[in-house]
Structure 1
Amino acid sequence: MEQRRNIFFYYKKDEELQNKLETLFDLATENGFNIVEDPQNANIIVSIGGDGMFLQAVRKTGFREDCLYTGITRSNESGLYCDFNMDNFDDMLDTMRHAEMEVRRFPVINVEVNGETSFECLNELSVRSTLIKSIVIDVKIDDMYFETFRGDGLIVATPTGSTGYNKSTNGAVIDPKIPCFQVSELASINNNRYRTLGSSFVLNSDRKLSLEIIQDGNDYPIIGLDNEAYSIRNIHELNITLSDKAIKTVKLKDNSYWDRVKRTFL
């Protein structure tokens, strides 16, 4: 990894953290890395914080495929995306200096709104009502009508996002080596008029999921993209596919995805 030497640090600025980071910056410089101020000049992007900060770092720097992302947690934080802690920063630098290091590739979903604007998600997309009433969504798979959902909303999660909001709704935890995405319900209504599958379902990487918002007053649903909310006017249809893009992260030895799942939940 000799060619990867430019590091950009993404973190929330505060004086206490800045003082702690000075030591890390010095250590990075001593090991031959260059700290850059513009993420476009970086080939390594490091977030300081938990999973939320990692997701922000990926989003704010444009879901770049030509660089490595990695996350560092602080002592009171944990993260399924973050392999490193402030206390083992030197391990991270040592890992990045060696060509034999392992790199994970996390799938990304693409979301097209009304056939126009496109967004990317590393974790999940959620669609929820902004009104105190249920939202109605026609669900199509590869342009084939599947069901009409009525309830609080729907979540579409990547495999790595399956441990977040998706898991809290009893969705399955998916191995990130499986190229797929998962659809989970939020408080669905099932009666003689509305009938849904009533459980999460998983779609292969070549599937297209279409969510058509029924215009009955819920014309301005909240669209959650990872850990950011967007209020987009007059949403008629969302087309969701698994992107060809993958986010690359550094993998510590003996710290697989399932090691982190076990450590976090069991």
Structure 2
Amino acid sequence: MKFTVTSRGDETSNALSQKIKTYLNEFNMTYDPDEPSMVISIGGDGTLLEAFHDYSHRLDQTAFVGVHTGHLGFYADWKPEEVEKLVIHIAKTPFKVVEYPLLEVIVRYYQQKTSKRYLALNESTVKSVEGSLVMDIEIKGDRFETFRGDGLCMSTPSGSTAYNKALGGAILHPSLASIQLSEMASINNRVYRTVGSPLVLPQHHTCMLKPQHHIDFRLTVDHHTFVERDVKSIQFRVAEENIRFARFRPFPFWKRVKESFIGDER
């Protein structure tokens, strides 16, 4: 099997990365950063996010594994002291593939410019470069509301514990093929009115944002930021692709939520 290892870049992560490479080479596995069957991410959730975007062109051929060298993450579940055990699993044990849904973002433009397509593992946000964001929101082709406020966040189920949670969104289990739209400081008065609650959309629903004014927008896709001009619409839906995680042991989602946000009971 071909593999590659990505590192957060700190001393501990780099040392573990080299250790894993050496061990797997001793098991006659091939290091191939161009066409890996498995990507082993050393660092945290941010490191795995970067690895996902680096290999988003081959998601159907690549599985991901995360080793955390900081706080326990939602994607990085192996501890540094478990590296030897992980290496033996990779070399000797058939792994179970667990798939999480992704967010597809399509930006369309005026002036007949070619549209752009992005994939997000956590979320995508939209804000205006200056002033309030004013967007018509369509769901399944029908106008739902006009939003006015700081911005909008569309998240995946696995990303629902990130920025979405900070905005008051619901935490969704990653087995649900869905996306969630949350507001950032919406303006609600007699002129402007939004539903005010996060919206969870199923796999077959499409959400379209249409700007009311020709202004520049700041679009984020996970940790990437883009300034978009001449935007006609921004479309969100559950992507056809999934991210594939290699699982060698149970990794209960709700246990991770508890450990991350509640901690041990006293």
- Compute the TM-score of the two structures, normalised by the length of structure 1: 0.90
Query: Which of 61, 68, 77 pairs up with 1:66?
Result: 61
Aligned-partner residue type, residue 180 of structure 1: S
Q: 1:214 Cα shift?
A: 1.8
Q: Report the counterpart of residue 148 of structure 1 in structure 2.
A: 146
Aligned identity (percent) is 28
By how many angstroms is 1:28 displaced? 1.7
1:29 alignment partner in structure 2: 25
Match of 2:127 in 1: 128
Who is 1:236 aligned against?
232
Cα separation, 1, equivalents of 2:60 and 2:89: 19
Moved over 6 A (4+): none
Unaligned runs of 5+ in 1: none
Identify if the C-alpha distance between structure 1 residues 205 and 98 changes in structure 2 by more than 3 Å, giving closer, same or farther: farther
| Counterpart Cα distance in 1 of 2:235 and 2:73 | 29
| 1:79 alignment counterpart | 73
Shift of 1:150: 0.3
Gaps of 5+ in 2: 110-114
Deviation of 1:20 after TM superposition, in Å, equals 4.1
Q: Contact between 2:5 and 2:17, CA under 8 Å: does it hold in 1?
A: no
Cα displacement string for residues 223-263 of structure 1 (whole angstroms, at most 9, x for unaligned residues): 01011111122222111111121110022423211221111
Mapped to 2, the partners of 1:140 and 1:21 lie a distance apart of: 46
Contact 2:44 2:67 in 1 (8 A): yes
The residue matched to 1:22 in structure 2 has which SS? helix
Aligned in 2, Cα 1:261/1:22: closer, same or farther, shift over 3 Å?
Answer: same
Give yes or no for contact 1:151–1:188 (8 Å, CA) kept in 2: yes
**AA in 1 matched with 2:85:** D
1:200-219 equivalent positions in 2, closer than 5 A: 200-215=198-213, 219=215
What is the rounded CA distance, in whole Å, between the counterparts of 1:112 and 1:247 in structure 2? 18
d(CA) in 1 for partners of 2:260 and 2:13?
24
- Relative to structure 1, is the Cα distance of residues 14 and 81 closer, same or farther in structure 2, using a 3 angstrom cutoff? closer
Alpha-carbon shift at residue 70 of structure 1 (Å): 1.3
User: Considering only aligned residues, what root-mean-square deviation do their CA atoms show, in Å?
Assistant: 1.8
TM-score by length of 2: 0.90
- How many residue pairs get aligned? The number is 256
